[in-house]
Amino acid sequence: DQQVKQNSPSLSVQEGRISILNCDYTNSMFDYFLWYKKYPAEGPTFLISISSIKDKNEDGRFTVFLNKSAKHLSLHIVPSQPGDSAVYFCAAWDNAGNMLTFGGGTRLMVKP
């Protein structure tokens, strides 16, 4: 049973345009959400997070939106750059279990 799902395995975007990566979850106990970025041959690196008490968090070109009623979050990258090409993982923090549950990842390709 996948509690965190990223339904798009890949996304291709032109440089300078917006990239939107989506994530859905099922567990109402999740109260903190994170996005990680992973380059080949490297471990995932933290990108941005959002608490369940907020609906938006912004950090430079990256914005995460949370819709609690829909159990949906999204990551917006504006403008997209070729260096953003990587696999992006959505993750949810379960306070009861004190651990992260990850989605399957979305491979973003930003074309010059």
Shortest separation between residue 67's beta carbon and other proteins, angstroms:
20
**Cα gap 36→89, rounded to integer Å:** 5
57 lies in the site for other proteins, by CB under 8 A: no
Q: What's the DSSP call for residue 53? A: T
Q: Which is nearer to other proteins, 23 or 110 (CB)?
A: 23
Q: Which is nearer to other proteins, 32 or 65 (CB)?
A: 32
Instruction: Evaluate whether 73 touches 33 at the Cβ level (below 8 Å).
Output: yes
Taking alpha carbons only, the member of 78, 52, 75, 79 closest to residue 64 is 75
Residues that bind other proteins (CB under 8 A): 4, 6, 9, 32, 34, 36, 41-46, 49, 89, 93, 97-105
